[in-house]
Structure 1
Amino acid sequence: MIAIWVSLVSNIVLTIIKIGVGFAFASPVLLADGIHNAGDIIATVAALTSSMVSKKPADEDHPYGHGKAEVVASAMVAVILALAALWIGYHSVLSLFEPPESESWLPLIAAFVSLVWKQALFVYTVRIGRAEKSKSVLATAYDHLADVYASLAAVVGIGLALLGDRLDWAWTAYGDPIAGIIVSLLVLKLAFEIGKEAVDILMERTVPAERLAGYETLISGLEEIKRIDRVRAREHGHYIIVDVRVGVPSHYTIQQGHDISRQIKHCIMDNDPDVVEVMVHLNPWNEGEDRAL
């Protein structure tokens, strides 16, 4: 939660700096980066809200918990990034057909400060996001990474234009808008990657095959299990839900079946802390049937 608040305050400050300096010195790439930061404020607020919602316990309307709230926030961040990328690209292309503006040192300094600040924020938030397995914090982290790309391109573009003014290199006059186009492509790629992951989770894509194989190995090690019929698992935001169907001797009592179900549940959850729910369905197994372990 603290990581998202730090990101929110940082985005507000950087937005004011970039848009103010960008307007004052007519720097397309810095102005575009500032507009991108303004979108980041909305994305960070969404991440903050979703992080609070995702921690709520399960209730009657949401029996599987609220973990997907963070995934919805990730999808919103992806949309905002994509719109920002298109905006940056459009205005950068327009700038190529206009007389180049003379660059100043202040936009270069603002872009460099943003670069260092955003790199530090990315390292900080990605570390927190991975430790807490928070989709919304990780989305915020990669949003910072997009800003790192944008600020780096701004530093290079403005720096080239300043160098060109000093050395009388005409071709560097358009370094600023060209950098803006490169930024738009990088941000668009990042938006696609974040959006794809969010959609996969919302569509309940299964977890990686090696993870499923690990669950099957754990279950097959239990003596009472005679057949594994099906093992499925899906991410539900920052946690995983597992579905298991297994065959047990048909003469077992309900109490024995209940004990086996609990054994399977604890076996998986003790070995994978990301799993918060294991739903077990028991099928009857008779002597001589296939033991597909």
Structure 2
Amino acid sequence: MTQYDDIKQGEKGAWVSISAYVVLSVLKLGAGYWFLSGALVADGYNNLTDIIASVAVLIGLKISQKPPDKDHPYGHFRAETISALVASFIMATVGVQVLISAGKSLMEGSQHTPDMITAWIALLSAAGMGGVYLYNSRLARRINNSALMAASKDNLSDALVSIGAAVGIIGAQFGLPWLDPVAALAVGIIICKTAWDIFYSSTHALTDGFDEKELETLQATIAKTKGVHAIKDIKARVHGSNVLIDVIVQVDPELSLIESHRISDDIERRMGRKHNIMSVHVHVEPLDGHPKLPQSQS
């Protein structure tokens, strides 16, 4: 199965999320307004933003399947990241609106005791989103798709948000009506936090940022490749769900071109086998006095 086939598989998870969010947002918004639950309304708006985010992931996955062309020699994989960035702005806008609405309700003292049915709807939604999380997380691990894995984490946070909304609604039944708008505030904060996390990770990837600890792990794997005496330079960047690596290794200057090429092939195989990284550009140079790295058999 190629990486394009994996991306195609990831579309199933996006469609599962979209279907669940459409049903839940309609149910929550309708019941929340009808039975006077600000927490459930806020949770419904949270699911509306998730529809947009899931659609963005789906569009990104579809564009990512386009093969490389003259203008995009590395392919179109970054479409996933750009779609996620757009979704983060939309989510932040909705999150701020939820915070303003809940804040006004608290300041004006216009809290109402919502009907207990809204709590059951919130708990049912939490169970449903828990199921969607399990499906998407397993699929994401199987096809190694970072965009779908991020979506599954959002599914889990949505389940927790619904549980929080249920807690606020149940608390209001015991003479604490202010707990409902407080729960709505908490939902708004979670929406904004999720938007910020997506924005940060997207911009970090689009500006070729890369986690230093992960880079050290990749470097250690290359350093243990038989025949590598030193690593002169290594760079990595995220390209959609893929990682691209450029590395300069130093080898015994007495080696032939064929032997040096074999070391490059070994590095590429190790990175694919241990880290599922298929795009590794290896440049080989003769050792120029650098201390040797300890060798180990691969």
Other-structure match for 2:242 = 239
**Mapped contact 1:67–1:238 kept (Cα < 8 A):** yes
**TM-score by structure 1 length?**
0.84
| Matched ranges for 1:40-189 at <5 A | 40-96=50-106, 97-164=108-175, 172-189=176-193
The alpha-carbon distance between structure 1 residues 278 and 91, as it changes in their structure 2 partners (threshold 3 A), is: same
Q: Shift of the alpha carbon at 1:255? A: 4.9
> Which is worse superposed, 40-49 or 103-112?
103-112
The alpha-carbon distance between structure 1 residues 243 and 186, as it changes in their structure 2 partners (threshold 3 A), is: same
Q: Shift of the alpha carbon at 1:226? A: 4.1
Cα distance in structure 2, aligned partners of 1:231 and 1:216:
11
Aligned residues: 282
Q: Shift of the alpha carbon at 1:148? A: 2.1
> Which is worse superposed, 42-51 or 120-129?
120-129
SS of the residue corresponding to residue 232 of structure 2 reads: strand
Cα distance in structure 2, aligned partners of 1:193 and 1:5:
23
> Which is worse superposed, 180-189 or 256-265?
256-265
> Which is worse superposed, 199-208 or 46-55?
199-208
- Find the partner of 2:26 among 16, 37, 54: 16
Other-structure match for 1:265 = 268
Q: 5+ unaligned residues in a row in structure 2: which ranges?
A: 1-10, 294-298
Aligned-residue CA RMSD (Å): 2.5
Cα distance in structure 1, aligned partners of 2:271 and 2:219:
6
CA deviation map 1:229-252 (0-9, x unaligned): 112222222221111112345566
**TM-score by structure 2 length?**
0.83
CA deviation map 1:71-123 (0-9, x unaligned): 22332343333223212211111111143224213322222221221222223
- Find the partner of 1:230 among 233, 242, 250: 233
Tell me which amino acid in the other structure corresponds to 1:227: A
Question: In the alignment, is residue 31 of structure 1 matched against residue 41 of structure 2?
Answer: yes
**Mapped contact 1:56–1:66 kept (Cα < 8 A):** yes
**Mapped contact 1:245–1:281 kept (Cα < 8 A):** yes
SS of the residue corresponding to residue 26 of structure 1 reads: coil
SS of the residue corresponding to residue 181 of structure 2 reads: helix
Cα distance in structure 1, aligned partners of 2:120 and 2:101:
22
Q: Which has the larger radius of gyration?
A: 1
Q: Shift of the alpha carbon at 1:213? A: 4.2
Other-structure match for 1:290 = 290
Cα distance in structure 2, aligned partners of 1:102 and 1:179:
13
**Mapped contact 1:11–1:38 kept (Cα < 8 A):** yes
Cα distance in structure 2, aligned partners of 1:239 and 1:42:
24
**Mapped contact 1:57–1:65 kept (Cα < 8 A):** yes
SS of the residue corresponding to residue 173 of structure 1 reads: coil
CA deviation map 1:168-208 (0-9, x unaligned): xxxx1222111111222233223322322222222222344
Cα distance in structure 2, aligned partners of 1:263 and 1:156:
55
Q: 5+ unaligned residues in a row in structure 1: which ranges?
A: 165-171
Cα distance in structure 1, aligned partners of 2:66 and 2:278:
14
